[in-house]
């Protein structure tokens, strides 16, 4: 009988179909990365506290993937006021994800945060975010490439192209995992880490100073976050593949321990 694959809970994000019907969605690249690289079974769960029982969820899964999403983390979670310029928000996902992150870390449940998920990890441990990182002095535009008329670029190869370098902390988890001192990654975010949370250890910084890779200090299990979209071409991109392979190894170990 073949070994049972680990199960990964993949958080959904609020979405309206035809601007009328409330739905939850997860990008297929995330699901494929979990299946094809981490070797696990993805199980989408709603990013809504009234629907999702976090305790029951963690009894079911062997790890959690916090994906990227269009909405920013609501600024009230780090002591700032709401600003309509930085909408949309997804306060239901905030309410579920922030507590779920702390539960995962406490229990040693493998946790991987990507883009918004990376930002959620920072906020969960008391860190702050800047709603438009490119507005800070000396920062580059980390947002998705667009045409001159403001429309998103039609070519996905351009959108997800590697756009800047990241310097990894020597001897850190990411440097050991990836086997190098510098990596090059894609960039599709507006919001970014301003001040790291109390247990957030910065392990990778872009050439303009933007924080791009983090871990949770003293976490008993896998607890890593990346600002770039590591789910993109996870089977072929060597950096992204190693991250999801390491996540898969942690999932299998947690499953065996259970």
- pLDDT at position 205 is 98
Q: Are 228 and 192 in contact (CB under 8 A)?
A: no
* pLDDT tens column, 57-80: 999 999 999 999 988 999 999 988
* pLDDT tens column, 41-56: 999 999 999 999 999 9
**DSSP E strand stretches across the chain:** 7-11, 13-17, 21-25, 41-45, 63-66, 111-114, 128-130, 164-168, 182-185, 192-195, 200-206, 211-216, 223-226
**Domain parsing of the chain, residue ranges:** 7-257
Q: Which two tokens stand for residue 57?
A: 């969820």
pLDDT at 142 over 90: no
Active-site choice (115, 142, 203, 212): 115
Q: How far apart are CA 247 and CA 164, in angstroms?
A: 24
Nearest to 254 by CA among 3, 7, 1, 2: 7
Which CATH number is associated with domain 7-257?
3.40.50.880
* Mean pLDDT across 144-156: 81
pLDDT at 91 over 80: yes
Q: Which two tokens stand for residue 153?
A: 């670029």
Q: Which two tokens stand for residue 60?
A: 């079911």
- Report residue 132's pLDDT band, with 50, 70 and 90 as the boundaries: confident
Nearest to 10 by CA among 215, 33, 23, 214: 33
pLDDT at 2 over 80: no
Least confident segment among 101-105, 117-121, 187-191: 187-191
- Report residue 92's pLDDT band, with 50, 70 and 90 as the boundaries: very high
Residue 229 known to be catalytic? yes
User: 155 vs 197, which has greater pLDDT?
Assistant: 197
* Mean pLDDT across 229-243: 97
pLDDT at 1 over 60: no
pTM recorded for the entire structure: 0.94
HEC assignment per residue over 41-106? EEEEECCCCCCCCHHHHHHHCCEEEECCCCCECCHHHHCCCCCHHHCCECHHHHHHHHHHHHHHHH
Active-site choice (104, 189, 231, 232): 231
Considering the chain, what is the average pLDDT of its residues? 93
Active-site choice (74, 189, 229, 232): 229
- Report residue 158's pLDDT band, with 50, 70 and 90 as the boundaries: confident
- pLDDT at position 120 is 98
């Amino acid at each position: 009988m073949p070994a049972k694959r680990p199960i990964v809970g993949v958080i959904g994000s609020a979405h309206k179909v035809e601007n009328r019907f409330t739905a939850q969605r997860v990008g297929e690249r995330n699901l494929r990365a979990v299946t094809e690289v981490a070797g696990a079974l993805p199980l989408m769960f709603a990013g809504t506290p009234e629907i999702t029982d976090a305790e029951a969820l963690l009894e079911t899964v062997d790890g959690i993937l916090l994906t990227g999403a269009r909405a920013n983390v609501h600024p009230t979670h780090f002591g700032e006021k709401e600003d309509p310029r930085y909408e949309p928000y997804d306060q239901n996902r905030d309410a579920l994800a922030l507590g779920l992150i702390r539960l995962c870390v406490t229990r040693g449940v493998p946790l991987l945060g990507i883009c918004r998920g990376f930002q959620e990890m920072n906020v969960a441990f008391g860190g702050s975010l800047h709603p438009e990182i490119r507005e800070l002095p000396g920062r580059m535009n980390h947002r998705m490439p667009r045409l001159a008329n403001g429309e998103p670029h039609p070519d996905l190869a351009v959108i997800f192209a590697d756009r800047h370098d990241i310097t990894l902390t020597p001897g850190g988890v990411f440097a050991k995992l990836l086997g190098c001192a510098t990596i090059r990654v894609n960039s599709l975010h507006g919001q970014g880490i301003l001040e790291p949370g109390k247990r957030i250890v910065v392990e990778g910084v872009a050439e303009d100073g933007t924080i791009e890779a983090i871990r949770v200090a003293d976490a008993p299990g896998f607890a890593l976050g990346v600002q770039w979209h590591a789910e993109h071409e996870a089977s072929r991109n060597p950096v992204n593949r190693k991250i999801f392979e390491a996540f898969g190894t942690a999932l299998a170990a947690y499953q065996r321990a259970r």
